[in-house]
Amino acid sequence: MKISSWTLFKDEDPLVRRVTRNALIYLIGLLVVSPLLFGWRFAGGCFIGGVIVILAFQWLKRGSDIILSGKKRGSIAANVFKFLLRFLLIAAVLYGSIKSNFFDVNGIVLGLSAMVAGVIGEGFYQMALIFKKR
């Protein structure tokens, strides 16, 4: 799976594009500010957490698109295996990052919150649109 800025913003749904854009803005801001305030271990944790959450979101979105399209791609067992393999990979990266003590756990948690920040940003955007119409 190729993840680039092109595939992240290629979605037809403008809501998904805006949430992804907001999450990337949050993550880039976090990566710019965190080394200055908290050091490189913290910034590395933010980067690891952000990459994991964006990969997980893209995998989840792609899987849900396949399910909702009604197209059958492989057996159910193969799809469940791929699903579990993805999350085992995410768990292994998180476990290794935390256990190695090379990255700060707080930074990882902040990086993992990138998609939540994207959704919150979209909520503020929608609220601003509502107040603008009044």
Rama region for 70: left / alpha / beta (φ>0; ψ in -120 to 50; rest): left
Is residue 2, in this structure, part of any structural domain at all?
Answer: no
| Mean pLDDT computed over 11-25 | 88
pLDDT at 31 over 90: yes
For residue 96, is it within any domain? yes
Please tell me the predicted confidence (pLDDT) of residue 9: 57
For the chain, how many structural domains are there in total?
Answer: 1
How does the average pLDDT of the chain come out, rounded?
Answer: 85
Q: Is residue 24 part of a domain?
A: yes
**Does residue 100 lie within any of the structural domains?**
yes
pLDDT for 1 equals 46
- pLDDT, tens digit (0-9, with 9 covering 90-100), for 101-123: 889 999 999 999 999 999 999 99
Mean pLDDT confidence for 96-100: 88
What is the number of other CB atoms lying within 10 angstroms of the CB of residue 15?
11
The model carries a pTM of 0.78
CA distance 49 to 66: 26
Full residue range of the structural domain in which residue 84 is found: 13-133
1 within domain boundaries: no
